[in-house]
Structures are given as structure tokens and as C-alpha cells.
Amino acid sequence: MNPQEKIKELVELLNKYSQEYYNNDVSLVSDYEYDSLLRELETLENQYPEYILPNSPTRRVGDFQETELEKIYYQTPMLSLADVFNCNELRDFDMRIRKEGFNPHYVCELKIDGIASNASYENGKFVLGSTRGNGLVGENITANMNTINSLPKKLANNMSIELRGEVYMKKSVLNYLNNIREKNGETLFKNPRNAAGGSLRQLNPEITRKRNLDIFNYTIVNPKQYGLQGQYEALKFLEKVGFSVNPNYEYCENIDDVINYIEKWKDTRKDLDYETDGVVIKVDNFDMQEAIGYTIKTPKWAVAYKFPALEVETKMLNIIFTVGRTGNITPNAVLEPVMIAGSLVQRATLNNEDFIIDRDIRIGDYVLVRKAGEIIPEVVRVNFDRRGSDVKPFYMIDKCPECGSELVRAKDEAVHYCLNEECPGRIRAGLVYFASRGCMDIDGLGEKLVEDLFRRGYLKKITDIYRLKNYQSELEMIEGLGEKSVQSLLDAIENSKNNSLDKVITSLGIRFVGGKISKILAKQYGSLDNLLKASYNDLLNIKDIGEAIANSLVNYMAKNSDLVRELQSLGINPIEEVNENEQIFKGMTIVLTGKLESLTREEATKIIEDMGGNAASSVSKKTSFVVAGSDAGSKKTKAEELNIKIISEQEFLEMIKR
């Protein structure tokens, strides 16, 4: 499909979804699926602006509902917010503002999943309530908003004011109403947002009254008219004059504090009695907001961070099997493509045979998928309500899909293994792992290129990676590479020789030996030579190393000593100085906050870890002390509340003798 046709298809699809969402309170797809399709459209429109359609959803703020309610025209538009989906995009947002010469502080507010509204007061009396509509034209819902108990109808100070908020339905209210509707044989409300939307647009306000809606107010039109200088001050003002404000807002000194706020609410939001699907981040100062400005549909000084979708439903088309570097066989679901947390997912792990059987997962089922640890897509369960008669039962394979060897199920484990150490699947997986970011971090040597080079015979074991320079001209002839990309790859391979000892140990792919254990081993042994000599009993004497790890490590070194020696001969032989006298932070937990002038955050973290300490991301009672740089924010405040020692960057440098 060419770009013009794809843009047309996306516009038609998104407009269909919007019409149902705004007019009928029906969500045909999840918010994340809608957001991802919208992002795809935005990307295509940026690349091919000549194909932008006048009815594109990127050209408008919202949608207008075709109802019998009176239209309301806004002098100050109710704009939507640009969405971001990860911390990198948040930092990009912050960097764009800083590049304009600003030094912003932020206010974070939970993004309530409800209906945006406008409320106007004259001489202290509530006179007009309306929906956002398309941002310029909304609907008059004054009578229905009058039924919301948490919206004051008369202000004590008789002021005139216009403010914006979010009308929502509590989860407990939804459950209560659905219980009644079920008893009466009525259709159940699907979710709080849809229930709130339908309730607000009722032509009979008595129906709305029975729905027990609530409201959180979050901004004031023309706030400086009331002597307010920033968003945090405005929220305090709203609370003072009697408006309902979501209590979980927070002032943040910098973007690191913003990210900490998001981390805090990522999971705990599930315990709230209302739905929240993200965090709204606003530059605090109103003058700075105006100076930063606006795009055609969104402010440049605010974004909405969307929490990763907890679960997304899609159809499972097939089950395939992959071989890991240790010979572990993993069943994987082949899915109809679906967006989760901003990325397109077509495969998801099914973990093992027991996992599939216990959940009765079958080919052709509609399944719920999530990102386990927000990284690896995982099938969670089946939606049995959508199970058809054509689904196919699951059967575990008994032979390796790569080499045909008989599979063995380990005792007391649910995993099947291919024991053939020459299995091409195991070798290929080991090569991919060796070059990956958490290991030797060889930029450009990803899974697809490894598979291609393996198939062509250039890579048969990890040491072959360092001999690719002998085939430079041949590599340049491979389609998709070329002189420049090959040179970049060879440079990355050469640079990987400078990796630390713990990275090298991790990259070997020894079973049970990940990044944490590799750091312990590097500090204990200091070199590959010493590690080759490590005995089972010596390893057991090291904290955090048990029998399984010790056995695995000793067996690996016995079988692969020649491979390790070969790596050393190729220039991969890092030495780590082990000096107990420099372990000044041994057993301590240290938190860094604010901007450090002499060190980057990464450098300071490495120093703490090299000197025996643990660099933590948040302050707790277990924190030994906090290093506070300039613009230190909430972490410093938390440390003061807990009476935890706070030192300056200069004091920290003196401690480490810098």
C-alpha cells in the first residue's frame, strides 16, 4: 500500500473510532491502539505533507457530538495534549524547552479518565457548564453538571471565574450501578469513562443525578487575573476557594522528579477509586508557558504521559518454538499485530508447556497480552467469551525445532531443553546475546544481522565476531550494508574490547550468571584468568552465590576455557583492580539528586558501586545518605523528612578524594 492510500485508510479508521467514542461512548479499540494508529498517521503526514486530508484527526482537538444540546463557543480554546509513552520522550520534551533557554520546574497531576468540562461562575454563582467538544465549540450541559455534588454551585467569596476540569465516575459507583442494572436486566456500563460520558449528555438531568458523578478541577482560564503565577499555586487556590482538586498533584524541580512521580503511581494507581491512564506534566510558571507557546492543537509546555497498557486483547494466530542460548525451548504466540506501550507487538512468550496447559491457551483464541516488566510481551490469559469452535489444542513438541534432537524436560522444572551444544539455534541465540546492549553492546550487530552472518558462515562462535574485520570487503557487498555501515559495525566491535570485566562475564551467557552476579564475580576475582581458576567451594563462600550458580560457572569454565583464552588473545581481557581499602561505601545505600557539576549521574553511580555501595533511585529509611546537587527536588525533601544525612557534591568529591 502506498503512503497516500495508507494515510486515507488511517484517517477513515480513526474517524470511525472517534465517532463511536465521542458520539456513542463506545470504545471500539483500546486507548493505546487508537494512540498508536494516530502516531502512525502523524509520522506518515510528516513524511508526506502533500497527502494530508482536511478531515484528518491530527487537524482537530476532539470531536463534536451531534445531540440536541446547545452549542457553546470558547474564547479560550480547550486544547488537547501531546502524548508521550516513555522516559526518553519525556526527556526529549524537557530538552526542547531547555534548548529555548528556559529552566523549567514542573507540576505533575494524575490524568483522570473522564470527560473534559468547562465551568463558569458569575458573582460566585455557577451559571454554565459545558463539554470540550472540538476545543472551540462544546455542548451546554449546565443542568447535568448541576447534579454533581462535588462541584460547588455557590462560592463563598462571590467571585467570577472560569475553570476546566474532568467529570468522572468512581469505580465503586460503577460497580454499584452495574449491580442494579444486572438485577433489572439492563445492559451493563462497560467502564467508568463511557458511563460518565453517556450520563453527562442525558437530556433528562434526573437520570444524570442518579449516576453520582464527580469532578476534579485542574486549571483556571486567565489565572493571572487572580494574581496566580504558576500551576501549583493555581491548584492550591482552587482548593482554598472550595473546588475539588485531585489531591495527588506534585511540584517537581526537574524531569528526574517527574519520572520518579510516574514510577510512584505506575502501580499504586490501581488502588485508587477512579481510573487514571497517565500523568499530565505542565511547566509550572504561566509566563514561561506563554513564552514557550503552542502548536496548532497542543501546548508546547505540557504533555500527557500515558501509562503502559496493563493488558491488550488480540488474536493468537499460531504457536512457534524458539531455542535459547542454554538450549531452553520457549513456545511463542504469533499474534495479530497490536500496539502495547507505544510499540507494535506481533510475538509474545508463552513461557513453557505448563503455562499453556494451565491456562488452556489454544491457537485461534483471543488472548490478553501485556509487557512483562514492560519489556517482554507475554500472553496472560484467554478471553473465553470469544473462543470459537475452530480453535486448535496445544501440543508440546518433542524434538528441537532447529537441530531435531530429542528434547529433555529438566527435573523439577517446566522447561524443555535441547542438550545438543552444537545446535545452530543455541549458537545463534548466544551470538545475539553476546552482542546485545546489556552485554558487549555492539551497536549494529542485532538479531537480523547475526542470523544473516550466521547463515553465510561468517559467524560460528562469539570469537568470530572479532574476526569480521578480515572480511570487510565481502561484508560491504551484502545487501543492506555497504561501506559506511560495515565500518561503523567494525568500529563498534573494536570498541567493545574496552568493556569492563563484569560486562564480559555477563556476555558469556553462563546459566544463572546475569549482570548482578557478574559484578560480584568481577570484584571478587578481578580478571578472566582468576575466574578460570575459581573452585566450587571458593564460589560458595561468596555472598549471593549458591550451589546452582557455582555449579553452572565451574562447568562452563571447564568446557569453555579454550573459548575464554581465545577471547583474551583477541584483546578482550579486562582487569579490575580489587582494593578493599577503596571500598569506603561498602554496605551503604546512596541516593543522588539534582544536577552534579563535576560528574555525570552515570559516573557518580559507577563510583559508588566501584567503592562497594548501592546507588538507589529513591529515598527510604534504608538510605545511608543523599548527595544533593543543584536543583535538588523531592528526594532531598524526603531525606529531610526522614532525618537522613544530606551532603553536597563537594563533600562527596572529598569522600572519594577527587
Q: Which residues of 12-27 are buried (b: 16+ CB within 10 A; e: fewer)?
A: ebbbebbeebbeebeb
Model confidence band, residue 608 (pLDDT cutoffs 50, 70, 90): confident
**DSSP string covering 562-612:** HHHHHHHHTT--------GGG-TTTT-EEEEESB-SSS-HHHHHHHHHHTT
> What was the pLDDT predicted at 338?
82
Residues 494-498, mean pLDDT to the nearest whole number: 94
> What was the pLDDT predicted at 75?
87
Q: Give the model confidence (pLDDT) of 17-33 as tens digits.
A: 766 655 555 556 656 56
pLDDT for 615 beyond 50 = yes
Closest listed residue to residue 192, CA positions, set 66, 270, 276, 109: 276
pLDDT for 502 beyond 70 = yes
Q: What is the mean pLDDT of the chain?
A: 87
Closest listed residue to residue 422, CA positions, set 403, 437, 408, 436: 403
- Which residues are known catalytic residues? 111
Q: Give the model confidence (pLDDT) of 298-346 as tens digits.
A: 899 999 998 876 678 899 999 999 999 989 999 999 999 887 755 678 8
Q: Give the model confidence (pLDDT) of 102-136 as tens digits.
A: 999 999 999 998 999 999 999 999 999 999 887 88
Distance CA 311, CA 308 (A): 9
Answer whether 431's CB lies under 8 Å from 450's CB. yes
Domains belonging to the chain, first-starting first, are 3-59 (1.10.287.610), 71-306 (3.30.470.30), 312-417 (2.40.50.140), 424-569 (1.10.150.20), 583-655 (3.40.50.10190)
Q: Crossing angle, helix 87-99 and helix 255-268, to 10 degrees?
A: 150
> What was the pLDDT predicted at 372?
58
Residues 616-645, mean pLDDT to the nearest whole number: 86
Q: Report angle CA 109, 112, 114 to the nearest 5 degrees.
A: 155
pLDDT for 249 beyond 70 = yes
Q: Report angle CA 652, 91, 98 to the nearest 5 degrees.
A: 85
Neighbouring-strand partners of residue 625? 590, 645
Q: Give the model confidence (pLDDT) of 172-228 as tens digits.
A: 999 999 899 888 888 788 788 888 988 888 888 899 999 999 999 999 999 999 999
Model confidence band, residue 68 (pLDDT cutoffs 50, 70, 90): low
Q: What is the pTM of this model?
A: 0.50
Answer whether 554's CB lies under 8 Å from 545's CB. no
